[in-house]
Amino acid sequence: MAQPVPNPTPNPGGMSREVRFTLIGIMLGLFLAALDQTIVSTALPKIIADLNGTDLYAWVVTSYLLTSTISAPIFGRLTELFSRKSILLIAILIFLGGSALSGLSQNMPELILFRGLQGIGGGALFSLALTTIAVLFPPRDRGRIGGLFGAIFGISSAIGPWLGGLLTDHLSWHWVFYINMPVGLVALFFITRYMPRLRPEGERPPFDYAGAILLVSWAVPLILAFSWGGSTYAWTSPRILFLFAVSAVGLALWIWSQLREPHPLLDLSIFRIRTFSLASIATFFYGPAFLGAVAFLPLYLQVVTYPTAKAGGFWGLRA
C-alpha cells in the first residue's frame, strides 16, 4: 500500500503546495460526480419530452446507478495494483466522455447507454476520491478532510436542482451534461500537474476477476428487479422472481468467493466493525429514499405544479 505523502514544506494550513492543489483537483472530481445526481433530474422532464421517452424515464437514473455501483469497488481495487493518479485520470476521462456523449444523445436508448458510461466514471470518482484521503493524509487529518468532502455533497445538493433548471430553461437540457466539461478539465489540470503518482509498494496482488464477475452477476439482476418490479412487471411475476433468485444465488457465490480469495475485491471482514455495519444499514435505507426523491420529485413539480424547470428545481430544493 502506498504511504501518506510527506509535507516537507507546509503552508499555514498545514499542507504542502503539492497536496493542497491535488486536493483541489480531487474535490472538483468528486463535485462532478455528486452534482450529476441532482442537476440531471431537474432536466429529465424536458429530456423525455424532447426524446419521446416517458416509458424509459427511470432508466436514465437506473443506468447511472447500475454502472456506478459496480465500478466503485472495481476501480478502488485497481488503485492497489496501479498508479492511483493514472486510475483517477482515467475515471475523470470516462466521466467526461460519458457527459459529452449524453449531451449529444438523439434518443432515449443512446442517453441511457451514455449515462451508463458516465456512471462508470462517477462510481470510480466516488471511491477514488474518498480512498485517496488515506494515502495523502495521516489519520489525524482524515476527519477534517472528510468533512470537506461531505461539504461537497451538501453544496451539490443545494445548487444542483436550481442549476439544472436554469440551464434547461435558458440554454437547453444538453447543457446539464456539457457543464461538466470545463470543471472536469480544471480537475484534470490540477491532478495531472500536482498529484504524485502514488504507486503501490511491494508485490502487487492479483486482481480478483472472479469477484468482479460475481459482483455483476448479483448486482445487475437485483437493480433490474427493483427497477421493473411494481411498474413494468408485478412483484410476483415470474420475471421479477427469477431476477431475485439469480441475484440471491450470485450474492451467495460472491460472498463465498470473497471469503476464500486471499486478495478479495472487497474484504468482508470490515463488516465485523460495528460502526461500519450500522452505517451501511443506514445508507441502505437512506439511498432509495434519496434517489427516489431526486428522480421523481422534479417530474411531479414540473408536470403538476410548476411550468418551468427552473421553478421546479427551486421549489424542489426548498422541499
Summarised one tens digit per residue, pLDDT across range 180-230 is 888 888 888 888 888 877 776 667 778 888 888 999 898 888 888 887 887
Closest to 6 (Cα-Cα) out of 260, 101, 17? 17
For residues 241-270, give the mean pLDDT.
Answer: 89
Closest to 74 (Cα-Cα) out of 254, 236, 223, 203? 254
The pair phi, psi for residue 2, each rounded to 5°, is -65, 145
| pLDDT category of residue 14 using cuts at 50, 70 and 90 | low
Residue 289 has pLDDT above 90, yes or no: no
- For 234-254, letters b (16+ CB in 10 Å) and e give eeeeeebeebbebbeebbebb
In the chain, pLDDT over 90 holds for what percent of residues? 10
Q: Which three cell numbers stand for residue 278?
A: 450500522
| pLDDT category of residue 297 using cuts at 50, 70 and 90 | low
| pLDDT category of residue 2 using cuts at 50, 70 and 90 | very low
Q: Which three cell numbers stand for residue 169?
A: 430553461
The overall pTM is greater than 0.85: no
Query: What is the residue whose three cell numbers read 447511472?
Result: 64
Q: Which three cell numbers stand for residue 214?
A: 460475481
pLDDT at 141: 76
Q: Is 52 left (phi over 0), alpha (psi -120 to 50) or beta?
A: left
Find out whether 153 and 298 touch, Cβ atoms under 8 Å. Answer: no
Residue 57 has pLDDT above 90, yes or no: no
303-306 — which CB contacts under 8 Å span 24+ positions? 303/45
pLDDT at 194: 84
Find out whether 316 and 308 touch, Cβ atoms under 8 Å. Answer: no
- The chain-wide mean pLDDT, for the chain, equals 79
Residue 281 has pLDDT above 90, yes or no: no
| pLDDT category of residue 148 using cuts at 50, 70 and 90 | confident
Higher pLDDT, 146 or 121: 121
Q: What is the DSSP secondary structure assignment for residue 174, as one 8-state letter? A: T
For residues 51-69, give the mean pLDDT.
Answer: 80
* Superfamily covering domain 17-207+296-318: MFS general substrate transporter like domains (1.20.1250.20)
Find out whether 75 and 127 touch, Cβ atoms under 8 Å. Answer: yes
Say how far apart CA 26 and CA 88 lie, in whole Å. Answer: 9
pLDDT at 11: 43
Q: Which helix (H) or strand (E) holds 55?
A: none
Say how far apart CA 16 and CA 11 lie, in whole Å. Answer: 6
| pLDDT category of residue 316 using cuts at 50, 70 and 90 | very low
Query: In Å, how far are 79, 91, 225 from 27, measured between CA atoms?
Result: 18, 14, 34
Say how far apart CA 178 and CA 173 lie, in whole Å. Answer: 9
Find out whether 200 and 80 touch, Cβ atoms under 8 Å. Answer: yes
Q: Which helix (H) or strand (E) holds 308?
A: none
Closest to 190 (Cα-Cα) out of 7, 82, 29, 78? 29
| pLDDT category of residue 235 using cuts at 50, 70 and 90 | confident
In the chain, pLDDT over 70 holds for what percent of residues? 84
The pair phi, psi for residue 4, each rounded to 5°, is -55, 145
| pLDDT category of residue 256 using cuts at 50, 70 and 90 | very high
| pLDDT category of residue 97 using cuts at 50, 70 and 90 | very high
